[in-house]
Amino acid sequence: MTVITNHMPTAELQALDAAHHMHPFTANGELSQKGARVITRASGVHLTDSEGHQILDAMAGLWCVNIGYGRDELAEVAARQMRELPYYNTFFQTTHVPAIALAKKIAELAPGDLNNVFFAGSGSEANDTNIRMVRHYWALKGKPSKSIIISRKNAYHGSSVGSGSLGGMSGMHAQGGMPIPDIHHINQPNWWAEGGDMPEEEFGLQRARELEEAILELGEDRVAAFIAEPVQGAGGVIVPPASYWPEIQRICDKYEILLIADEVICGFGRTGNWFGSETLNIRPDIMTIAKGLSSGYAPIGGSIVSDEIASVIASDEFNHGYTYSGHPVAAAVALENLRILEEENILGHVRDVAAPYLKQKWESLLDHPLVGEAKIVGMMGSIALTPNKETRAAFASDTGTVGYICRERCFANNLVMRHVGDRMIISPPLVITPEQIDVLIERATRSLDECHAELKKQDLLHSA
Ligand code: PXG
């Protein structure tokens, strides 16, 4: 058997990758021509690639490596747990210590009466759980017709058929027979792109009231739940106007619609609190978690469920679960991750040091000729690129053309900063220091300058 190692030449690794590995959310034909970037190791906030570049990872992997890379403690815990009990399930009236301990810890951290955890292997699986759980909840309450879940356009809730249907990504719905029935999408509170002449706060109220309109139109007796990310992540770090969430909460309370906060990105410190729901003052009935729960060191997700819902669900057999629900190694790793977040006061670092510093620096990017809006909550931020700041114009080129050019410049400058359409986004490890933030901003600025020069060269600086 050929042994494939980090020491092989990049081109060989890329050729093997192209031959056998199908990448997610990728035009694989195009990638195989170009060759994927091979990441070989990581430490702190830095990645190393097969060419020896040191790359500042301003996305914390995929929004998940909250404690940073290379924490030995997690490796030790994983090895210990693998030796002791590498696997057992939590079906058929069995349990194990890692699942017990992690569920207890999560219940302690979660606000209000969110005291019950249903484990999954990922955020997508957890949202699939949520679809079935809220519908089953209403059925058990004698209201089986309450099955519609209202979500938002441009939301991201995962990539399985269920969670992808909850999401509002039109490109995803166009492939593979989605959405499933009884999912309804309302507009997102994206003032920059969609607010027109309306003041931001008025726009926030209007977009929240679309929920009320949808409930009245669909019928209160048909609507089970509303799901939303406290701050939309994959949609482009869309920070809602301050008026938005209080109005959503009022509407959910008034019509007894369950509120599911998808905390997969916002959870575990990203916004400066344990949960984005605390930062945005939301009282959810269910929270979806994954990513930062284990800082990405092991795949694990879940649903944190209110006492009321859990007690109703407990009255019947819930025919649902995954082989890896509460996987002992993943649970032990997650627990160790939470210990580090707590004992090293990483949320305190975010609140007192990293987030205020990053906010000041991030907002200074507004001075750049291409940047029309700079938004940030805790450690997730976005900038909107525009050819005209006054009119908030989109570019005349296809959406994403300019963002892609900017992202390529970032890559060349050893900075992972993503683009979503023509917005650039960051979500760095929470442990990033002010000095590292300086480097991030310096590389981002250089990339924006190079992008600007490239747009001039290609004659792309035109408004739609
Ligand atoms: N909810 C939210 C809010 C997410 O951001 C999921 C659910 C699904 O989690 P899993 O673990 O099934 O991937 C996510 C995941 C991107 C990107 O390009 C974002 C995610 C996943 C992949 C890519 O920003 N978020």
Q: How confident is the model over 62-117, as pLDDT tens digits?
A: 999 999 999 999 999 999 999 999 999 999 999 999 999 999 999 999 999 999 99
Strand partners, 184: 150
Report, as an integer, the average pLDDT of 358-370.
98
Ligand 1 binding pocket includes 160 (Cβ within 6 Å): no
Residue with tokens 């000729």: 369
Residues 320 and 420 in one domain: no
Asked, for residue 434, whether it belongs to a domain, the answer is yes
Judged against a pLDDT cut of 90, whether residue 450 lies above it is answered with yes
Contact 152, 354 (CB under 8 A): no
Strand duo 423-426 + 380-385: pairing? antiparallel
Among protein residues, the one with the nearest Cα to ligand 1's atom 10 is: 123
Asked, for residue 14, whether it belongs to a domain, the answer is no
Enter the DSSP assignment of 367.
G
Among protein residues, the one with the nearest Cα to ligand 1's atom 15 is: 158
Report, as an integer, the average pLDDT of 365-370.
98
Angle made by CA atoms 77, 82, 86, in degrees to the nearest 5:
130
Judged against a pLDDT cut of 90, whether residue 168 lies above it is answered with yes
Ligand 1 binding pocket includes 234 (Cβ within 6 Å): yes
Ligand 1 binding pocket includes 157 (Cβ within 6 Å): yes
What's the gap in Å between 18 CA and the centre of ligand 1?
24
Q: What is the DSSP string of 114-148?
A: EEEEEEESSHHHHHHHHHHHHHHHHHHTT-TT--E
Report, as an integer, the average pLDDT of 114-133.
98
Ligand 1 binding pocket includes 64 (Cβ within 6 Å): no
- What residue type is assigned to position 66 of the chain? N
Among protein residues, the one with the nearest Cα to ligand 1's atom 7 is: 157
What's the gap in Å between 97 CA and the centre of ligand 1?
28
Residues 291 and 430 in one domain: no
Strand duo 301-306 + 286-289: pairing? antiparallel
Domain end marker among 306, 323, 343: 343
With CA atoms as reference, report the closest residue to 269 among 71, 62, 428.
Answer: 428
Asked, for residue 319, whether it belongs to a domain, the answer is yes
Cα of first residue to Cα of last residue in the chain, in angstroms, is: 55
State the sign of the Cα–Cα–Cα–Cα dihedral 166, 172, 173, 179.
Answer: negative
Domain end marker among 299, 320, 343: 343
Rg (the chain; Cα; Å): 22
> Where are any strands of DSSP class E within 6-104?
39-43, 46-49, 54-57
Report, as an integer, the average pLDDT of 4-27.
95
What's the gap in Å between 106 CA and the centre of ligand 1?
20
Contact 233, 112 (CB under 8 A): no
What pLDDT was estimated at residue 27? 94
Asked, for residue 446, whether it belongs to a domain, the answer is yes
d(CA 122, CA 262): 12
Mapping DSSP to helix (H, G, I), strand (E, B) and coil, where does residue 191 land? helix
What pLDDT was estimated at residue 1? 72
Contact 122, 62 (CB under 8 A): no
Residues 43 and 77 in one domain: no
What pLDDT was estimated at residue 126? 99
Which atom of ligand 1 is the closest one to the Cα of 124? 12
Residue in 23, 62, 172, 260 to alter for ligand 1 test, most ligand atoms within 8 A of Cβ: 62
Q: What is the DSSP string of 179-241?
A: PPSSEEEE----HHHH-TTS-HHHHHHHHHHHHHHHHHHH-GGGEEEEEE-SSBSTTT-BPPP
Which atom of ligand 1 is the closest one to the Cα of 301? 11
Judged against a pLDDT cut of 80, whether residue 174 lies above it is answered with yes
Residue in 262, 275, 291 to alter for ligand 1 test, most ligand atoms within 8 A of Cβ: 291
Domain of 271: which CATH number?
3.40.640.10
Mapping DSSP to helix (H, G, I), strand (E, B) and coil, where does residue 186 land? strand
Report, as an integer, the average pLDDT of 114-128.
98
Residues 155 and 268 in one domain: yes
Ligand 1 binding pocket includes 233 (Cβ within 6 Å): yes
Among protein residues, the one with the nearest Cα to ligand 1's atom 19 is: 234
Residues 228 and 106 in one domain: yes
Domain end marker among 343, 361, 395: 343
Judged against a pLDDT cut of 90, whether residue 222 lies above it is answered with yes
Residues 87 and 46 in one domain: no
What the block records as the tokens of 51 is 């060419």
- What residue type is assigned to position 318 of the chain? F
Which residue range(s) make up the domain with 370? 37-67+345-458
Residues 133 and 237 in one domain: yes
Asked, for residue 13, whether it belongs to a domain, the answer is no
Contact 334, 147 (CB under 8 A): no
Contact 400, 421 (CB under 8 A): yes
On average, the pLDDT of the chain sits at 97
What's the gap in Å between 158 CA and the centre of ligand 1?
5
Residues 317 and 434 in one domain: no
Residues 43 and 123 in one domain: no
Which atom of ligand 1 is the closest one to the Cα of 59? 24
Asked, for residue 228, whether it belongs to a domain, the answer is yes
Buried b (16+ CB within 10 A) or exposed e, 126-146: bbbbbbebbbbbbbbeeeeeb
Ligand 1 binding pocket includes 293 (Cβ within 6 Å): no
Ligand 1 binding pocket includes 122 (Cβ within 6 Å): yes
Judged against a pLDDT cut of 90, whether residue 181 lies above it is answered with yes
What's the gap in Å between 236 CA and the centre of ligand 1?
12
Strand duo 258-262 + 223-228: pairing? parallel
Report, as an integer, the average pLDDT of 198-204.
98
Asked, for residue 10, whether it belongs to a domain, the answer is no
Contact 130, 305 (CB under 8 A): no
What pLDDT was estimated at residue 461? 96
What's the gap in Å between 123 CA and the centre of ligand 1?
7
What's the gap in Å between 168 CA and the centre of ligand 1?
13
d(CA 370, CA 372): 6
What the block records as the tokens of 323 is 């082989």
Burial class (CB in 10 A: 0-12, 13-18, 19+), 413: middle
What pLDDT was estimated at residue 425? 98
Angle made by CA atoms 100, 91, 158, in degrees to the nearest 5:
80
Judged against a pLDDT cut of 80, whether residue 142 lies above it is answered with yes
Q: What is the DSSP string of 82-109?
A: HHH-S---S-TT---HHHHHHHHHHHHH
Asked, for residue 220, whether it belongs to a domain, the answer is yes
Sheet with 39-43, side-by-side order of all strands: 39-43, 46-49, 54-57, 415-416
Domain of 419: which CATH number?
3.90.1150.10
What pLDDT was estimated at residue 2? 78
Number of domains in the chain: 2
What's the gap in Å between 129 CA and the centre of ligand 1?
15
Residues 176 and 139 in one domain: yes
Residues 235 and 314 in one domain: yes
pLDDT in tens, 311-348: 999 999 999 999 999 999 999 999 999 999 999 999 99
Residues 243 and 317 in one domain: yes
Longest dimension (CA), the chain: 66
